[in-house]
Structure 1
């Protein structure tokens, strides 16, 4: 995912908790959403900005935004500001 804004590595150790993965339980549906969206071919599905622009500020990868949208849908979060706080 070059030229896209990248988040923290989930396996990267931090001060508290030890890993980012420790925040999410094994039974959380977010894990299923993560695996499902990672398996999708975003270009075939018609996502326009799968290939990033060569100039300008990097954007977020469409897969990351789709995961966030599905998370909001599953948790009945309609407001983008509430979704921002959740993330």
Structure 2
């Protein structure tokens, strides 16, 4: 349980920092689920850009579309 808390907290801490607030902007499960999904997608996209760079990402997209 300690290991799980440490690895997951980084992601949510970063997302909360990006949002600039501790609260979600929407209400109800469906809306909150959508908001979290978009935030996680943006987080993953930014990590991809950091790890492989813009040129590597465009190359990977071109290969995937072929």
Q: What range describes the TM-score normalised by the shorter chain of this pair?
A: 0.3 to 0.5
If each structure's helix is expressed as a fraction of its own residues, which one has the higher value? 2
Task: Give the number of the structure with larger relative contact order, counting CA–CA contacts within 8 Å between residues 6 or more apart.
Answer: 1
- Rg larger in 1 or in 2? 2
State the TM-score, normalizing by the size of structure 2: 0.35
Larger strand share, 1 or 2: 1
Using the size of structure 1 for normalisation, the TM-score is: 0.30
